[in-house]
């Protein structure tokens, strides 16, 4: 992330936005704590503590859609979509933030903004118990995929982030022939399978943990209706890139054992891998280069399942 992006994402919150946050909690509320959180290049997030007039403290997260260029061009960067997803998740057992208020048209705030409860926990570090780590992330998937939408809150249907023509053999690849085969397969017929509600960007960096216990799943902007295998594919490729192929394979095994692998087909893993290429750029250090190599190992392994 560039210095300019960091400044944009972490700059001090404008007074009108702070007033909106306090008013959203209730008349007479006051903000008693503010700090920038997260390192996403997509949106600016702040943790706020707000004390209402009865003295009760509310732990909240403010997510601001500061990328005007993305708001104008990115069909998956839509504040109203995340609001619809959060409303859909209300009353479920899924550990998602609860919607407090939204200003999707920036009528009160400086930019479109969503205010939610703040879940306890932090992004995961190197898991001390990989088996438990994988199992907990697999076990929550059946609940996510069982969410229903009786009021038709969501209009969004799954589609790749990028057109197929935007995914090209990366210059850093040690296996260009592998990618040629991937592109050939995803250009063919789409396998039959179920469609349901999916997170769409389900990976471990979008989870929160306390002492080895999964406490939250965040970043629901891309929630939509689509193949459940996409959630498995996105998690598996991130696991492979960070921890190696064994963790990705074990996650799939656990998903099968807990009923979270309905409709799984290697096609979706290949499609999601190709869909990640336009965002990957060039590796900037040896650790990142090693992660890219593990990612290619994963793609080759998915190909071998066909």
DSSP labels, 215-256: EEE---TT-EEE-THHHHHHHHHHHHHHH-HHHHHHHHHHHH
Is it the case that residue 11 has pLDDT exceeding 90? no
Q: What is the mean pLDDT of residues 209-230?
A: 97
Cα(118)–Cα(48) distance, integer angstroms: 9
Q: What is the pLDDT of residue 6?
A: 54
Q: What is the pLDDT of residue 91?
A: 92
Cα(237)–Cα(38) distance, integer angstroms: 22
Domain match, 222 and 111 both: no
Domain match, 231 and 88 both: no
Domain match, 9 and 93 both: yes
- Asked whether residue 125 is domain-assigned, the answer is no
Q: What is the pLDDT of residue 218?
A: 96
Single residue among 78, 96, 117 that ends a domain in this structure:
117
Is it the case that residue 214 has pLDDT exceeding 60? yes
Domain match, 110 and 144 both: no
Indicate the range of 37-46, 71-80, 112-121, 297-306 predicted with least confidence. Answer: 37-46
Cα(138)–Cα(196) distance, integer angstroms: 16
Domain match, 78 and 138 both: no
Q: What is the pLDDT of residue 8?
A: 57
Work out the pLDDT band at 1, boundaries 50, 70, 90. Answer: very low
Q: What CATH number does residue 34 fall under?
A: 3.30.200.20
* Total count of domains within the chain: 2
Cα(84)–Cα(99) distance, integer angstroms: 10
* Largest distance between two CA atoms of the chain: 65
Q: What is the mean pLDDT of residues 18-23?
A: 98
- Asked whether residue 77 is domain-assigned, the answer is yes
Cα(182)–Cα(104) distance, integer angstroms: 38
What is the model's pTM? 0.94
Q: What CATH number does residue 171 fall under?
A: 3.90.1200.10
The 10s digit of each residue's pLDDT in 229-275 is: 999 999 999 999 999 999 999 999 999 999 999 889 999 999 999 99
Domain match, 262 and 182 both: yes
Domain match, 142 and 276 both: yes
Single residue among 55, 84, 117 that ends a domain in this structure:
117
Domain range for residue 34?
3-117
Indicate the range of 67-76, 84-93, 198-207, 213-222 predicted with least confidence. Answer: 67-76
- Asked whether residue 26 is domain-assigned, the answer is yes
- Asked whether residue 124 is domain-assigned, the answer is no
Radius of gyration of the chain (CA): 20
* b/e sequence 62-81, b meaning 16+ C-beta within 10 Å: bbbbbbeebeeeeeebbbeb
Domain match, 198 and 112 both: no
Domain match, 113 and 135 both: no
Q: What is the mean pLDDT of residues 215-236?
A: 97
Q: What is the mean pLDDT of residues 17-32?
A: 97
Domain match, 160 and 69 both: no
Domain match, 47 and 169 both: no
Is it the case that residue 155 has pLDDT exceeding 90? no
Domain match, 112 and 150 both: no
Is it the case that residue 173 has pLDDT exceeding 80? yes
Which residues does 295 contact at the CB level (< 8 Å), separation at least 6? 237, 240, 241, 273
């Amino acid at each position: 992330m560039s210095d300019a992006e960091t400044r944009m994402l972490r700059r001090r919150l404008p007074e009108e936005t702070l007033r909106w946050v306090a008013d959203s909690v209730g008349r007479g509320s006051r903000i008693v704590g503010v700090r920038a959180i997260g390192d996403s290049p997509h949106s600016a997030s702040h943790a706020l503590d707000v004390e209402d007039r009865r003295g009760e403290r509310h732990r909240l997260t403010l997510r601001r859609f500061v990328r005007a260029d993305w708001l104008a061009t990115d069909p998956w960067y839509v504040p109203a979509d995340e609001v619809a997803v959060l409303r859909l998740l209300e009353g479920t057992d899924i550990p998602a933030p609860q919607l407090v208020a939204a200003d999707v048209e920036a009528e009160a705030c400086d930019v479109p903004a969503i205010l939610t409860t703040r879940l306890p926990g932090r992004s995961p570090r190197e898991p001390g118990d990989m088996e438990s780590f994988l199992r907990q992330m697999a076990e929550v998937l059946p609940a996510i995929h069982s969410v229903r939408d009786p009021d038709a809150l969501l209009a969004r249907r799954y589609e790749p982030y990028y057109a197929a023509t935007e995914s090209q053999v990366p210059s850093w690849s040690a296996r260009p022939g592998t990618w040629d085969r991937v592109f050939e397969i995803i250009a063919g017929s789409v396998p039959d399978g179920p469609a349901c509600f999916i997170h769409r960007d389900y990976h471990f960096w979008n989870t929160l943990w306390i002492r080895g216990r999964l406490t939250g799943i965040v970043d629901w902007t891309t929630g939509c209706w689509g193949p459940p295998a996409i959630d498995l594919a996105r998690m598996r490729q991130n696991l492979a890139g960070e921890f190696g192929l064994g963790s990705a394979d074990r996650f799939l095994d656990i998903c099968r054992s807990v009923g979270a692998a309905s409709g799984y087909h290697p096609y979706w893993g290949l499609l999601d891998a190709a869909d990640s290429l336009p965002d990957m750029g060039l590796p900037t250090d040896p650790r990142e280069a090693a992660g890219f190599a593990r990612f290619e190992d994963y793609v080759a392994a998915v190909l071998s399942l066909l």
